[in-house]
Amino acid sequence: MLSASAPLVLLQHGGLQSLLGKTGLAMLRYRRGPIVAVIDPDNAGTELVELTGISRPVPVVANLEEALPMGPTVAAIGLAPSGGRIPAVMRRDVEAALAAGLSLANGLHTPMADDSHLRALLQPNRWIWDLRREPDKLRVGAARAARSSARRVLFVGTDMAVGKMSAALELHRAGVDQGLAMNFVATGQAGILISGGGIALDAVRVDYAAGAVEAAVLEAGAEADWVLVEGQGSLLHPGSTATLPLLRGSQPTDLVLVHRAGQHHLLSLSPDASSVSIPPLPQVVKLYEAVGAVACPAMSPPCRLRAIALNTGHLQLEEARAAITATQEETGLFCDDPVRFGGAGLLARLRERSTTIEPALGAAARL
């Protein structure tokens, strides 16, 4: 629904320097289409690169009125506040955007297209896109993606919010730069807003989650040689249910593990939860491969974890290089930070295998 060429204003109220704003920060880093302004009253007038390290020439303004002269046609909510409730100041800018004739892209769990007051403000030929909606015509997963001849790379993590989407997008960028036919399957709000489509996995009933992933992967694989699937959650996280349907739905040929350098405990748990340790990475690799073998019984050969994408954004350059070397020695797997150093190295490692995958035979092929 969101076209790649639509001029966008990002509603990022208080989120430029907070994990609550990771959706908008990801869009600033990876959206190829125009972002004409960012609304953040707390940081209005400050250079974006000073606040975020993202060297994109986008002005930071205080409100929607200041952004309108820059020509946006769509307002996108870049914040993910707890409980899905937006601050009152953002609500005012949402209302002002609709009244001014803009469309609205909403990635919150709280739907806005059903809000009678907002609908009354919506101008003709404009839309409100609540992207966290369950897809139509769902069916139960049945390992159908194992028949696809496309390489299917699923990004898995040791925790939530470690950079699975970013690593996938960097690999996608490297592949496109090298002329490869690659598709990216978004499964979360930021990825959907960046790519313009996908499935909001956390809005799908659990019985249909694998089937929703399966349908998206089959569609992407019908027109590309590579399908990169955005990961969600972690097998290690007690509140995460996303990894199993992603494995079952995508039937991956390859896994890439994403980990934050030096992290030994889950950081994404609520403050009142018990501490959960991250096992040594070799154990995590074995865990993902073992679960993958059970979740993807039709795969031949079975999926393997091929590489580690290490998040070193919090480290200095030499510390980052040392962490990459240490992780590679610890696991015996290729390791790199594709966000910091680009995705070409990770792509080269994955391409060492044959780029032609024979569709799996047997039970899955007869479904």
What domain range is 113 assigned to? 8-130
What CATH number is associated with residue 30?
A: 3.40.50.720
Rounded Cα–Cα distance for residues 301 and 297 (Å): 10
In three-state secondary structure terms, 352 is coil
Query: Could you tell me if 123 and 180 lie in one domain?
Result: no
Q: What is the mean pLDDT of residues 105-124?
A: 91
- 235 is a domain residue: yes
Neighbours of 285 (CB within 10 A): 20
In three-state secondary structure terms, 287 is helix
Query: Could you tell me if 124 and 209 lie in one domain?
Result: no
- 230 is a domain residue: yes
* Tokens (6 digits) for 184: 């990216």
Q: How many residues comprise the chain?
A: 367
Query: Could you tell me if 294 and 223 lie in one domain?
Result: yes
Query: Could you tell me if 88 and 191 lie in one domain?
Result: no
Rounded Cα–Cα distance for residues 110 and 360 (Å): 40
Element (H, E) at 257: strand 254-260
- 137 is a domain residue: no
Residue 356 has pLDDT above 50, yes or no: no
What CATH number is associated with residue 310?
A: 3.40.50.300
* Tokens (6 digits) for 64: 């929607």
Rounded Cα–Cα distance for residues 361 and 367 (Å): 11
Query: Could you tell me if 235 and 166 lie in one domain?
Result: yes
Query: Could you tell me if 270 and 361 lie in one domain?
Result: yes
- 3 is a domain residue: no
Whole-number average pLDDT of the chain: 90
Q: What is the mean pLDDT of residues 139-148?
A: 92
User: Is residue 173 within 8 Å of 165, Cβ to Cβ?
Assistant: no
Considering only CA atoms, which of 308, 314, 300 is closest in space to residue 329?
308
- 1 is a domain residue: no
Query: Could you tell me if 185 and 84 lie in one domain?
Result: no
Q: What is the pTM of this model?
A: 0.88
Rounded Cα–Cα distance for residues 85 and 63 (Å): 19
Q: What is the mean pLDDT of residues 220-246?
A: 94
Q: What ranges in 68-163 are assigned the alpha helix state H?
A: 88-99, 116-121
Domain end (from 81, 101, 130) = 130
Give, rounded to a whole angstrom, the gap between the first and last alpha carbons of the chain. Answer: 32
The pLDDT score that the predictor gives to residue 84 is: 61
The pLDDT score that the predictor gives to residue 71 is: 95
The number of domains in the chain is 2
The pLDDT score that the predictor gives to residue 297 is: 83
Query: Could you tell me if 45 and 160 lie in one domain?
Result: no
Domain end (from 103, 130, 157) = 130
Residue 79 has pLDDT above 90, yes or no: no
Please write the tens of the pLDDT for every residue from 181-216: 999 999 998 999 998 889 999 889 999 999 999 999
15 or 268: whose pLDDT is higher? 15
Residues with Cβ < 8 Å from 139, sequence gap 6 or more? Answer: 208, 211, 215
H helix and E strand count, the chain: 13, 12
Query: Could you tell me if 228 and 298 lie in one domain?
Result: yes
Considering only CA atoms, which of 192, 188, 183 is closest in space to residue 160?
188
Query: Could you tell me if 67 and 169 lie in one domain?
Result: no
Q: What is the mean pLDDT of residues 343-352?
A: 95
Please write the tens of the pLDDT for every residue from 299-342: 778 889 999 999 999 999 999 999 999 999 999 999 999 999 99
Domain end (from 107, 130, 153) = 130
The pLDDT score that the predictor gives to residue 360 is: 42
* Bond prior to 301 in cis (omega within 30° of 0): yes
